[in-house]
Amino acid sequence: MNSSKFIYAFEDGDGRNKMLLGGKGANLCEMTQIGLNVPPGFVVTTEACLGYLEKNQLPAGLMNDIRSHVTALEKKTGKVLGGGSNPLLVSVRSGSAMSMPGMMDTILNLGLNATSLEALIRQTGDERFAYDAYRRFIQLFGKIALGVADEHFDERMAAVKRKAGARLDLDLDAGHLKELAGEFLELVKRQSGKAFPQDPYEQLEIAVGAVFRSWMGKRAVDYRRQFRITPDMANGTAVSVCTMVFGNLGADSGTGVGFTRNPGTGENLMYGEYLVNAQGEDVVAGIRTPKPIAELEAEMPEIYRQLVELRGRLESHYHEVQDFEFTIEKGTLYCLQTRNGKMNARAMVRTSIEMFGEGLISKERALLRVEPSMLEQLLVPQLSPDFHGKSLAQGLPASPGAASGRIVFDADTAESRGLAGERVILVREETKPEDIHGFFQAQGILTSRGGKTSHAAVVARGMGKPCVSGCEQIVINDKARNAVIGQTTLHEGDVITIDGGNGHVYAGEVPTVEAKFSGEMVTLLAWADEVAQLKVMANADTPEDATRARQFGAVGIGLVRTERMFNSTDRLPIVQEMILAESQEERQAALDRLLPIQRADFKGIFKAMKGLPVTVRLLDPPMHEFLPSAAQLELEIAHLHQLNDSIKALKELPDTLKLLNPKLYQQYADGLTRLVGGLHTFEESHLEDDVIRRKEAILKKVRALQEVNPMLGHRGVRLGISYPEIYSMQIRAILEAAALCAREGAEAYPEIMVPQVATVEELKRIHSYVQRIHKVVELTHGINVRFKFGTMIEVVRACVRAGRMAETAEFFSFGTNDLTQATFSFSREDAENKFLPAYTETGILQDNPFEVLDIKGVGQLMKMAVAKGRKTRPELKVGICGEHGGNPVSIHFCHHIGITYVSCSGPRVPVARLAAAQAKLLEREYLDPD
């Protein structure tokens, strides 16, 4: 640490060194040095702050340095701190390397005391102004430096206003403010036990220490944790001491904030607000309504001209949209702060294109300055920006976008009401694969359980539908068809709105704005594709998803999950037949019915992709996922048995009645005879017996298929080995679909992918099926289908054996969801529901490894597998198709280890394209985390 220099004058500080001077301080230096009109001042460094925090006192010699810099300030300004005829007042401002809006504090008007106050009154001839400045200073200093709570000041203020009959602060005159300042001084003395410091150097010393301390204040610490600001990003706050200028000295003064371009649209037009005769904080405090900056042109034409010039100089210097503060003191314009403007996604994209066009930035910069994940905002509907309502509950932001609709509590209702043209939101504790038909018809999905990688979240993201998951405040009561959130009870059919971008749930319908893929976005992504090395593919299970993926710019499908096709309502019964088959012949009969259906599915996807590669994964999940649960079957069977008993009882009713009450029997004899007759016919039909038998058969099968740990059980390639006819049917469907496309003159390029492979032998076995069927298809269709054969790498052993795997596999695709589970030995759902949140909160893990690829563990296995695989087969194509494929940090790593492509859900494709370009542009700076 350089302990010799703790302070830099604005003329001397290095504007690029934000770590040392804070963002605000560095830019004040920079602006001063390029000749903008900044009130003179100096910056006390973050190193001084760290020194203070370590010893709990200002570093030795710091106060002396401050004194000499104040003396220099006095020379420059001709003013004197704490006295003279021209008193120097300063602001003491916080600011760290990362902007943390509103987290730390600034004290204005420091240097006021009894003497300088008199001088200020004499100098300005404005008693009201001077007392106003004084009471503001006492309050800010009292609060920030001495810890006196705001409410005490507010109480005094309210009392004075009441006495004066004033509605606004502005209605108070000099006398009232003088009285108030006196009361404030008393108040501080009473609350802090010491008289308000009159010596301006003592004021400075206390203020600088207080700003330093605010770095470790609860607000600031929480903020850094929330936004993951680590010490290598910002460590300590700097303090800028800046000569006060006053925007509240009359009609030729004012203050405002500006954006060099419109932060909402990106339009190349100065944007901002100002107030005449006001101090800086008034604009943000909302006490008076500021005017749009355009009005300044008429009100103060010369200042406006200077402001336009300032805007130009800021942009041409910083090569970035700036967000700046200015103050006009008696006709002179001062710039008090500048920083890079925070904009929404639309504005970021537009300004990237336009600033490149204006020669302000390079294409690389245009690509690098847009945060990839922001793009998702543009691809899904959003809540109207004018909406500011209060939400009912907040869950996890599981799939972005906003949607309104009527609540339905099960997938069947979602389907029927959706098909009838209603907009519905599917609300469930959690969803299962068999709910898929409900997803298709719902506008959005809300679950009370499950994480961001729960079934609901993954499926919704794949479909590009909004989803809020794990919204634990909601208690869902399926039976009563209602959901309770705190005091509110929602019924089926009530309208709610969900925002999957932030997890909020609102009652009623909230207006939304539609997604738009702007021309600027198309341009930016085209630039990204020119730069990127990684290809971006999409996960898609239907021709519609595939078409959409193409629109998003996917250059292939990296994952088709065939089981999604099995789940739709017209196929499930056939799939169940296949599973329940007692013999191979029976099973083959069911498969024969599935073959044309799958073939048509694949053909549709191939056609949509027009010759781009389509990677189809053979059946992966355990079979029981296609059957109802044992508990549900038991319940249904019990109900049916009860029905049988009731019928028996009813049949005995006439005889019983005859015995007990012949009169009554006579009265109803006719009806009873007919009823018993009807019951007989029903019994003879054996309808319920048949149903019971069928359900019992299923139950037996379900029990037989039951596994202790299905995710590690009979699934993936293990199924393909046990039931070769299932995989054979799928392989045939794929190859025949490609052959049919070829015959129709459409190009198709299937890639057959085997899931859950652990041993080379498994892969070889499936490969032999493929070779055999490929020959058959060639013979029967007369077409030699071009295809690739490859494996998922999602089992730890497969990573270890990757070298040998690559002898058979022409491509690898990392299934990082399963590979993450296997590497951590975490079951995803259990982890996310039980202990992962605590792990990430307390820092045992930095991120949820199911969202952000665990580079240190899972990533190293991938790196090894890529190296081994390429050693065997240098041209080996390697992809990643997990949730991580669309995550920018993971994409950087994938680029780094030489992966060929990433595959992610359709709406994430643009995000991944931009991230892939950034990975290439930043490859030299890439550091493997350790």
Is 82 a residue that touches Mg ion (CB under 5 A)? no
How far CA 765 is from CA of 759, 769, 778, 794, in Å, comes to: 10, 7, 20, 18
Beta carbon nearer to ligand ADP, 39 or 51: 39
Beta carbon nearer to ligand ADP, 325 or 415: 325
Among 818, 829, 854, 883, binds Mg ion (CB under 5 A): 818
Is 854 a residue that touches Mg ion (CB under 5 A)? no
Contacts of 502 (CB under 8 A, 6+ apart): 394, 397
Contacts of 368 (CB under 8 A, 6+ apart): 918, 921, 922
Is 110 a residue that touches ligand ADP (CB under 6 A)? no
Shortest gap between Cβ of 305 and ligand ADP (angstroms)?
21
For CA atoms 591, 593, 597, 603, give the dihedral sign: positive
Is 337 a residue that touches ligand ADP (CB under 6 A)? yes
Query: 547 near 557, Cβ under 8 Å?
Result: no
Shortest gap between Cβ of 258 and ligand ADP (angstroms)?
11
For CA atoms 329, 332, 338, 342, give the dihedral sign: positive
DSSP state of 491: E
Beta carbon nearer to Mg ion, 108 or 580: 108
**Token pair of 332 as six digits:** 């002179």
Bridge partners for 812 per DSSP: 791, 878
DSSP state of 323: E
State the catalytic residue, choosing from 69, 176, 437, 455: 455
Span of 241-249, 258-266, 693-701, 916-924 interacting with ligand ADP by CB under 6 A: 241-249
DSSP state of 740: H
Query: 467 near 399, Cβ under 8 Å?
Result: yes
Q: In whole angstroms, give the CA distance from residue 930 to residue 898.
A: 19
**Token pair of 380 as six digits:** 């899904």
Give which of 339, 360, 323 is closest to 21, Cα–Cα.
339
Among 50, 98, 208, 336, binds ligand ADP (CB under 6 A): 336
Beta carbon nearer to Mg ion, 105 or 818: 818
Among 45, 106, 113, 404, binds ligand ADP (CB under 6 A): 106
Query: 848 near 835, Cβ under 8 Å?
Result: no
Interface characters, 279-318, with ligand ADP (x: CB under 6 A): -xx-------------------------------------
Query: 283 near 255, Cβ under 8 Å?
Result: yes
**881 counts as catalytic:** yes
How far CA 556 is from CA of 598, 740, 794, 900, 901, in Å, comes to: 19, 19, 21, 12, 10
Among 815, 849, 885, 907, binds Mg ion (CB under 5 A): 815
Is 199 a residue that touches ligand ADP (CB under 6 A)? no
Bridge partners for 447 per DSSP: 428
- Cα three-residue angle 668-669-671, rounded to 5 degrees: 70
Among 140, 181, 244, 916, binds ligand ADP (CB under 6 A): 244
Bridge partners for 399 per DSSP: 467
What is the helix (H) or strand (E) element at residue 415, kind and residue range? helix 411-419
Read off φ and ψ for residue 474, nearest 5 degrees: -90, 125
Span of 65-73, 237-245, 690-698, 743-751 interacting with ligand ADP by CB under 6 A: 237-245
Among Mg ion, ligand ADP, none, the one that 418 touches (CB under a kind-dependent 5 to 8 A) is: none
Among ligand ADP, Mg ion, none, the one that 281 touches (CB under a kind-dependent 5 to 8 A) is: ligand ADP
Q: In whole angstroms, give the CA distance from residue 906 to residue 536.
A: 10
Shortest gap between Cβ of 120 and ligand ADP (angstroms)?
14
Q: In 764-799, which positions are buried (b, 16+ CB within 10 angstroms) versus exposed (e)?
A: ebbbebbeebbeebeeebebebebebbbbbbbbebb
Beta carbon nearer to ligand ADP, 253 or 453: 253
Beta carbon nearer to Mg ion, 785 or 865: 865
Is 108 a residue that touches ligand ADP (CB under 6 A)? yes
Is 737 a residue that touches ligand ADP (CB under 6 A)? no
Is 241 a residue that touches ligand ADP (CB under 6 A)? no
Is 173 a residue that touches ligand ADP (CB under 6 A)? no
Is 337 a residue that touches Mg ion (CB under 5 A)? yes
Shortest gap between Cβ of 161 and Mg ion (angstroms)?
28
Q: Where are the alpha helices (DSSP H) in 34-173?
A: 46-55, 62-77, 114-124, 127-140, 150-164
Shortest gap between Cβ of 818 and Mg ion (angstroms)?
4
State the catalytic residue, choosing from 49, 471, 799, 881: 881
Beta carbon nearer to ligand ADP, 263 or 750: 263
Looking at residues 238 to 257 of the shown chain, list those that interact with Mg ion (rule: CB under 5 A).
none
Among Mg ion, ligand ADP, none, the one that 242 touches (CB under a kind-dependent 5 to 8 A) is: ligand ADP
Among 91, 214, 382, 542, binds ligand ADP (CB under 6 A): 91
Beta carbon nearer to Mg ion, 320 or 323: 323
Which residue's entry shows tokens 């005769």?
277
**455 counts as catalytic:** yes
Q: Is 724 exposed, middle or buried (0-12, 13-18, 19+ CB in 10 A)?
A: middle
Tally Cβ neighbours within 10 Å of residue 184: 24
Among ligand ADP, Mg ion, none, the one that 336 touches (CB under a kind-dependent 5 to 8 A) is: ligand ADP
Is 793 a residue that touches ligand ADP (CB under 6 A)? no
Shortest gap between Cβ of 245 and ligand ADP (angstroms)?
5
Chain positions contacting ligand ADP, by CB under 6 A: 39, 91, 93, 106, 108, 242-245, 280-281, 325, 327, 336-337
Task: Give the residue numbers annotated as catalytic, written as ranges.
Answer: 455, 881
Chain positions contacting Mg ion, by CB under 5 A: 337, 794, 815, 818
